Amino acid sequence: MPIAMENPALDAAADLLALLHDTTTEPRADSQLEALTLAVSADLPVLLWGEPGIGKTAALNHLADSLDLPLTTVIASVHEPSDFSGLPVVGDDPAVQGVPMAPPDWAVQLVRAGQGLLFLDELSTAPPAVQAALLRLVLERRVGTLRLPPGVRIVAAANPRSSAADGWELSPPLANRFVHLQWTYDHDVVVRGLGGTWPRAALPRLDPRRLHDSVAFARRAVCELLAARPGLVHQLPKNETRRGGAWPSPRSWEMTLRLIAFATAADTTRDVLSMLVRGAVGDGPGLELLASMDRMDLPDPETLLADPASAVLPERGDLRQTVLDGVVAAVRKRPDQSRWDAAWALLVLALETGAPDLVVVPATTLAALRRDDWQVPAAIERLAGVVSLSQRADRAVGGPK
């Protein structure tokens, strides 16, 4: 039996490589990493889009290490369709026993582990036949006759067709099964990571007390939008490239509902929620949903008019403008001296706590609603300067040049 000889040069190289791989992690705010971990927690397949070398694979390795999950990487483009649909195995009597579809070894290992991250890399270089075979894996978690356990999460990565090696557009059925996240690099994260410290990934902390309310809120948000905008239920894009991304369908709306419930229970930031919602149903429908959700939280104009002294107006300018417009519309619908006076009190509150230009249009409209027998409240004088200044500015802009 040959005796292994020591090689000092290779031993030193191994020690140096070990030092280079010896990195640590730290808590750090990272919106795209938070979006990824929330989608993983919600058990939804995620597809990371980004240019080559931007760190998609590295992010998955850090995620697996941080969550203490085994990572199984499968390069989709170098596999045959049978690697995902199962390899036929002929038994003793096929006429009686049939021909079972045997799963590949990586699927068997995931089942034995009971949990893990299945990373489907280079998805955009997989030919159409392989993409078709992946449909059942991504949606039903089945490989041949084997079903992956609930503890397995699926994440994929792809390069845009323009920068993919021999790339294909994703088929619409496969694309509609993923939450699409645009993966970019953060300069500070890269510099600090190359210095040996990377952001630490962590699954979101769900508040057990908010679970039922989170589900109710998510259902209300999605259903109210689709009831008002039935055309958004299913919109298959006409453009081939857009079909390979996020677009609305009953399936992707169901994913969106789940994401909203998880984000609400975890008290996720709006930026993270925006990434996830737009990654499920696309930018247009996603932004409409976010705007609709903002309006769900707005105070009722009638409540504000009933007690203007206790009113709290939204801080965001667009939401504040919506509330003030709603107050004026409520007075127009049911005009009354006391309601008119209360509306002026709310406009004064808006002037004192926010940008003055937001009250110009509501004040002008509210003034036009005055009846001849209504007394002018003193609050109007506090707004007169802002309105007159705005009107003079408008005349100056529209005047001769």
| pLDDT class of 395 with cuts at 50, 70, 90 | very low
| pLDDT tens-place string over residues 12-71 | 898 999 998 888 888 888 899 999 999 999 999 999 998 888 888 888 888 888 888 999
122: phi > 0 → left, psi -120 to 50 → alpha, else beta; which? left
> Which of 234 and 105 is assigned the larger pLDDT?
234
pLDDT of residue 397: 40
Considering the domain architecture, whether residues 288 and 306 belong to the same structural domain is answered as no
Total domains, the chain: 3
**What CATH number is associated with residue 126?**
3.40.50.300
**Is 77's pLDDT higher than 60?**
yes
Considering the domain architecture, whether residues 137 and 249 belong to the same structural domain is answered as no
**Is 345's pLDDT higher than 50?**
yes
Considering the domain architecture, whether residues 37 and 166 belong to the same structural domain is answered as yes
316 lies in a domain? yes
Among 199, 233, 264, identify where a domain stops.
199
| pLDDT class of 387 with cuts at 50, 70, 90 | low
Among 296, 324, 339, identify where a domain stops.
296
Considering the domain architecture, whether residues 365 and 385 belong to the same structural domain is answered as yes
| pLDDT class of 376 with cuts at 50, 70, 90 | confident
Considering the domain architecture, whether residues 174 and 242 belong to the same structural domain is answered as no
387 lies in a domain? yes
| pLDDT class of 361 with cuts at 50, 70, 90 | confident
The total of other beta-carbon atoms located within 10 Å of residue 326's CB is: 18
pLDDT of residue 91: 62
The average pLDDT across 382-386 equals 69
19 lies in a domain? no
| Percent of the chain whose pLDDT exceeds 70 | 89
**Is 394's pLDDT higher than 50?**
no
Considering the domain architecture, whether residues 194 and 57 belong to the same structural domain is answered as yes
Q: Which domain holds residue 277?
A: 208-296
pLDDT of residue 390: 43
18 lies in a domain? no
Among 146, 179, 199, identify where a domain stops.
199
- Cα distance between residue 289 and residue 110, in whole Å: 37
Considering the domain architecture, whether residues 144 and 34 belong to the same structural domain is answered as yes
- Cα distance between residue 340 and residue 328, in whole Å: 8
20 lies in a domain? no
217, 261 in Cβ contact below 8 A?
yes
- Cα distance between residue 212 and residue 221, in whole Å: 14
Considering the domain architecture, whether residues 345 and 277 belong to the same structural domain is answered as no
| pLDDT tens-place string over residues 275-315 | 999 999 999 999 999 988 988 878 889 999 999 989 989 88
- Cα distance between residue 54 and residue 38, in whole Å: 21
Considering the domain architecture, whether residues 73 and 182 belong to the same structural domain is answered as yes
**Is 117's pLDDT higher than 90?**
yes
Considering the domain architecture, whether residues 234 and 163 belong to the same structural domain is answered as no
pLDDT of residue 330: 92
48 lies in a domain? yes
Considering the domain architecture, whether residues 62 and 81 belong to the same structural domain is answered as yes
9 lies in a domain? no
Considering the domain architecture, whether residues 225 and 315 belong to the same structural domain is answered as no
22 lies in a domain? no
37, 152 in Cβ contact below 8 A?
no
